[in-house]
A and B are shown apart, each in its own frame.
With several copies, the nearest count.
Chain A
């Protein structure tokens, strides 16, 4: 009963690591709210995209997570 979280770019610094496991929760909002306040704030911004199992989530408010999902947090990509 777990979710795998992946933090890309500078979000890995905010999370203290590139990956972590957390107990499964049904919504992305609940997932983010359950993390440390600083990390929660960093992940919740509008510029952070979220991918679940390799697919970008279009509407995170409506998305239902399932046990075993891999949730990746993607900050804006770096410039050239």
Chain B
């Protein structure tokens, strides 16, 4: 089961993971990652903008790539857009599989791609106003891990 969603309002990850888990009665393991707006560093709010014609199809294609690459029973991707406050969940990825390695690796794969390869533009609000967040080198290094693996196989 593939379930990919963009949400404009705050969400409770448990309210998605519970039904997702119940939808796969044959699973052996389920791995979930929740990313939250990290408090501190003077950040008062985070805004995520996206471009509808690219963002949701891109997330859907990423889910297909993970389902194709790992032996999964289901994959859930939930991503916020709009203005978020510190501690609000930004992203939830949950993978259900017969075996734990597939579930854990699929979450790792999906998060690396969501972070660096998906169509979101972010800006932070600080005391002196809004500031756009630039790409990070670490994200590209994270993504390269999966490309190397393809070459090695």
Contacts and interface: CB of A to CB of B under 8 A. Distances in A.
B150 interface: no
A78 to B, nearest CB: 4
Interface stretch (A20-28, A35-43, A68-76): A68-76
B53 A78 contact: no
Interface stretch (B71-79, B102-110, B111-119): B111-119
| Residues of B in contact with A, size category | 20 to 34
Contacts of A8: 49, 51, 119, 121
The prevalent SS among residues of B at the interface is mixed
| Residues of A in contact with B, size category | 10 to 19
Contacts of A74: 51, 54, 119
Contacts, number: 61
Given A76-B134, A77-B116, A78-B132, A54 B121 contact: no
A37 B142 CA distance: 37
B11 interface: no
A56 B61 CA distance: 15
Interface of B: 35, 49, 51, 53-54, 57, 100, 115-123, 132-136, 138-139
Please provide the 7 A-B residue pairs with the shortest distance between their CB atoms, ordered closest to farther. Answer: A79-B136, A54-B53, A9-B121, A80-B115, A78-B122, A78-B133, A10-B132
